[in-house]
Amino acid sequence: MNLIRSKPIGHSTRQPPGPTGDWLGMRSLQRFRSAPLAYLTELARIYGDIVRFPLGPFFCYLVAYPAGVHQVYVEQASHFHKTRLTKYVFEPSLGQSLLTSDGEFWLRQRRLIQPAFHSKRIESYGQIMVDCTLRALADWRDGQERDVHEDMMRLTMRIVSKALFDTEVGEAVDEVGAAISVAIEIANAKFTRLFQIPRWLPTRENQRERAALAKIDALAHCFIEERRALPREQLEQRRDLLSMLLLAVDEDGAGGMTNQQARNEVCTLFLAGHETTAVTLSWACYLLAQHPHAQARLREEARAVLGGRPPTTHDLPRLTYTGQVIREALRLYPPAWITPREAQQDVQIGDCLIPRGAVVFVSPWVSHHDGRYFPQPDAFMPERWTEAFEKQLPRGAYFPFASGPRVCIGNTFALMEAQLILAIIAQHFELELAPGQRIEPEPLVTLRPRHGVRMRLRAVAA
């Protein structure tokens, strides 16, 4: 979808173009709620790099060109906070956490958590990822038909549970997965609702949300209390992320996280730590099944590099094509398909003025399908991701994990996990799309495949 642009950004301050004649913005709101991917893409195609459009009685702004995205995420990041709607939707379940907070509190939490995601620490979780994947694939059979999206959700949940808590979710994995799905479903409904239902009302939705959050919350508190009961020496010997969070202290050594703060961050990492990777792998499997030549090339790379043994983190630099497949899946189907931000003051982006209080959207979905930077933008072309191609991409053209100070803290973990899992799948199975299904993206909080992705498995000869 090559995007057609308005005249280039200049230096004078102006009001961005956008649709008019929409009384109270109801038509725009309905289109955004029913088909947000198509609607945002259409806005960029018709009106250009920055678009002003109504959502109900409020005007929002879509920033859809690299330099503008870079300004929002990096150069003027301090002027953009999480929106009030984001906080309303997520604070009851996640509290004050990396996902919902801003300012000094957010900065302190980020500094406390960052050491847990140091590259050396992340590498240590590679064996967990491989072991969990091999156990999951032991249930796969030649000729079997499976919902790969469901399998990836369950697998990545087991991995993040082991990395976070040094334990297996075990039989509770489906129950917890269902609770997370309910929480995401309700969060999506609230994001697109003009008027919010008070949480104290005993509606069916509120009751479902409370029940789902109680299950997730109980798991987090159980492990926190268990860790707090350990002597510090024993806690220091543990290698899971939760223990590291409880040991973290400020730069001046003044103090660390309270139990409630640790609970909020654990729930955030637990919710986010499996969902985005599972979605990425689901779309990668779907794309590979549609392109047999790419799947064959992936399989040959696994054979050449691994020779039949399981991969390790040391193999990742040589699993080049595997990494390219993941990058291309993230381009075509970015899990975090939209990022809303609220301007804390009047901000100039390019030659346009964004007023204080306005909501600004940046969308990887829109930007990643821009033909100015990605030739044949709708085509699955993993081979495009050469070092030369990446170097010539402008900052703000490709951002599946956001960028700047609020870049996803677990991006390295997620990329390593996806690459290892995909390499193992390629070693053992060829994937074919099961007939009679329609695969389409469903833009919830993440970009899930609607109705899953059913695959027919073909065992690969050793």
Greatest mean pLDDT among 146-160, 196-210, 220-234 lies in 146-160
Report the phi/psi class of residue 5: left, alpha or beta, with left for phi > 0 and alpha for psi in -120 to 50: beta
Which is more confidently placed, 71 or 259?
A: 71
Examine the pLDDT at 132 and tell me if it is beyond 80.
Answer: yes
Mean of the pLDDT values across residues 255-273? Answer: 84
What percent of the chain shows pLDDT beyond 70? 93
As a whole number, the mean pLDDT across the chain is 89
CB distance 266 to 391 below 8 Å: no
Mean of the pLDDT values across residues 51-67? Answer: 93
Question: pLDDT class for 161, splitting at 50, 70, 90?
Answer: confident
Supply the pTM of this predicted model.
0.92
Q: How far apart are CA 415 and CA 407, in angstroms?
A: 14
Which residues on neighbouring strands pair with residue 244, listed in sequence order? none
Examine the pLDDT at 134 and tell me if it is beyond 70.
Answer: yes
Nearest to 354 by CA among 102, 84, 86, 79: 79
Domain ranges of the chain: 1-92+343-371
Q: How far apart are CA 384 and CA 29, in angstroms?
A: 36
CB distance 341 to 72 below 8 Å: yes
Q: How far apart are CA 140 and CA 455, in angstroms?
A: 11
Nearest to 270 by CA among 230, 323, 219, 332: 219
The pLDDT of residue 296 is 97
C-alpha radius of gyration, the chain, whole number = 22
Examine the pLDDT at 92 and tell me if it is beyond 90.
Answer: no
Examine the pLDDT at 279 and tell me if it is beyond 50.
Answer: yes
Nearest to 137 by CA among 126, 125, 148, 127: 148
409 φ/ψ angles, rounded to the nearest 5 degrees: -70, -20
Measured at the CA of 403, the angle between CA 399 and CA 408, to 5 degrees, comes to 95
pLDDT digits (tens, 9 = 90+) for 294-329: 999 999 999 999 999 999 999 999 999 999 999 999
